[in-house]
Chain A
Amino acid sequence: MPIRKSYLLIACVTLWIALGRILHGKDTLQLDTYENTAFTAFVGDKALDLRGNRTESAAFVYFFNPIRTFIDGFVQFIRDLIAVPAQNSVIPVIGWLGVVGLVAFLVFATSQWKTALLAVTLLLACGALGMWQFTMDSIALTLAAVLLSLSIGIPLGIWAGLSDRVLKIVQPFLDLAQIMPTLVYIAPIALVFMIGAASATIATMIYSIPISIRITSHAIRTLNQSPVEAAQSMGSTGKQTLRKVQLPMAKQMIVLGINQTVMAAVSFVVIAALIGAPGLGLPVISALIIRNVGEGFVAGFAVVFLAILMDRSTSAAAHKKQSFIPPTAKDIKRKRISLLIAGALAIVSVFVSRTMLWAAVWPKEITIAPQIEKITNDATAWILDNLYIFTVGFKDLVSYSILNPLEVQLSASPWYVTVGMIVALAVIIAGVRTAILAFALAMAIVLSGLWYEAMLTLTQTIVGTILTMIIGIALGIWTGRNDRAEKIMRPILDAGQTLPAFVYLVPMLGLFGPTRFTAIVTGIVYSIPVVVKIVSAGIRAVPHSLVEAATAAGSTNRQIITKVQLPAAKKTILLATNQGLIYVLAVVVIGGFVGAGGLGYLVIVGNSKPELQGKGLIAGAAILLLGIIFDRIMQASARRSS
């Protein structure tokens, strides 16, 4: 059976290539970038109407605008508190020293003094990078988005945890939100809520709410059922069981959900700047525009510090040791006294930060930003001068050998050939139901008029994913089999996951020029950490007995990897590929900023040119459709393989 499947696949691909050659250049649906179809023009007109109606139509006056006003006000309130000069004043309500004191106190109170010390160090480092106000803006925005997300996500998550029907309703939305590249939905949101903090907060929430729903419902569902049943049998009402049994038991997991929600919100900090949000995204984006690598990295470091700060202070609370030895009276007293002292210190620091200018506004003299900027700029210049020849050679090699042939195959074949092949592949790999879905979605892209551009983006995504998987599986095997490698790689992977892709888009531009390949490499760098982590976990999950048996039978290392560990981890690797593909797709589209063209460029140009607005919005939708097609196929094939 498996053999026949692979024959079928090969036959399919051969037929596809042959048809592509014969019908080369026919019905490719290519459009000039500045050409609109009737459909894109229609959507563009509607979008313009929407802009015009914002002050008049009832939906705006009574629904969207109040939401915007509320969220704007909420964010502004937090910003006034810590980030920007409050009304009629030159300093925020709480100056930098006060913020440091409060953060130290809060972290100390919820976890331990070591974490608090780390938090303070990271905050001061952000200040020393010259990014104090940007950091505070980002914290304000993140805080607002997280609080609002949790106030929606946790109740919904609990509900979905208790009711199968609710879970069934929200599940597709959760899946969708996970696939959706962030670049895609900022434009429609900005259309409705306009540029600014409100739009950025809402976009962040769309990204982070699904995570809190997912983890909360998971927490409720995976509880040990016996205490719940016991409570029910003793006649507790549903509400009582929830409040007295289920929630306390699920608390740890829910806090973990909060941690993940916070991390999702932090990772949105840079993208948020594209729709006018204040914060660390601004220097990152402006560094891209004027091509100042050093400045971009300084801001990028601040983002990473902020992410570590948020992660450690929330995850420490989630992983707090549950001790079975009750604390002695002395312990309690000691903790309470130290808390009182810390609290007093925090109050003093807030007070000082309101009375002394040096404690209110971060002193400009204390900065290491110029040095770091210079070091990164020099390092980049050196790399560019010395490695450019190699990187360009490598780029050309990949371009001529893989990228161009694939692009010709996908974009220069008639659309019906490619759609047919996608459907055929889906039938073979994932089954008929998925194939029907793939057909419907692919046809939607065709009808939208953006098929050709979609094929360009698809080419880049496929090449990026292939390269990602080659590197990712190799590193994953290495870290999965070797504890020391895991230890070395872990911090690098963590940093790679939090460093915004925009930060290294510019150095990549230097290495590979304004080309598709720059976008692909950026996508690869962005997705490798996730792939490595999943593959490594998959390898580690292979039962020891299997490996030991193979070793005892005299297998070499290579045999163990290829015959035992990889096959046993096949499902995980398929999932990793899926995850990698979605990540590459999400970043390849920002390659529109550096000459990669495709759907991503249409999204970007649609944001800034009214006449292409419709096309940009539809391009966003097409990216999403592409993502869903591949996600569904991969998920179904992973399910089948188990």
Chain B
Amino acid sequence: MIYLAVSLIAAAWLAPLVVVVLNSLRTNEEIAQGSMIGWPQHLAWSNYAAAWSGFCVAETCAGIRPYMLNSALVTIPATIFSTLLGAIAGYAVSLWRFRGDNWIYGIVTLGLFLPQQMRLLPWTIVLRDVGLINTLTGLVLIHTIQGLSFTTLFCRSYYVAIPHELIRAARIDGAGFFRIFWRIILPLSGPILIVTVIWQFTHIWNEFLYGVTFITGQQQPVTAALIALSAAVADIPQHGVQSAAVIIAALPTLLIYLLGGKYFVRGLTAGAVK
């Protein structure tokens, strides 16, 4: 009984993925004749080639590849910067302690709650004034600064469990801030750094609002390009190719989830119990 119920629900949860994977292997004509839900008559692998580097969004016909590259160029640096700076900040507010640390930490964590809509106009003006509007560097800057709220919180709550005596002993031996960080803290940080990197990567890769607001045309990340693609082909849908594009766009975060599932879930629940 339990198995039946659970399997049925699991099937329902998997269905959308299965449908899209199957469609990515059917030709556009085959889908147009029947429905989106069906078994491929013969495997149309050419959809993936077309999605990757063939089809047209707006006036350019380079497939999804340039947009995947844009997303990678934003996501990878922003993930590294925000994680590293968050680890240092988390270490400083949990183990080093300085005047005003509670205050500033409190304000930084408010960033978990402040809606993006409250920051849209100010970011527009800041990006324009520093000449980063419509650049990937601008997005890296935004995601690094905003990501700090999460990364500092994650790292701090992990580091507070490290015994203070360890730090005190190292300080008496004359080790400074960075030396303690490199020699003692970083070697202990493996799990929390994995959690933070997975969380940041998934969030930044999947982000849409900033990508569509501050970036136009060829520079857009892949989430924005998918929307532009659906709009562009609205008259003559190419559902086979579109399905392949959706799969490609979702693949990086799905792979990370499959490889680091345990850490992915830990990030989810850690973010929840803030």
A binds B: no
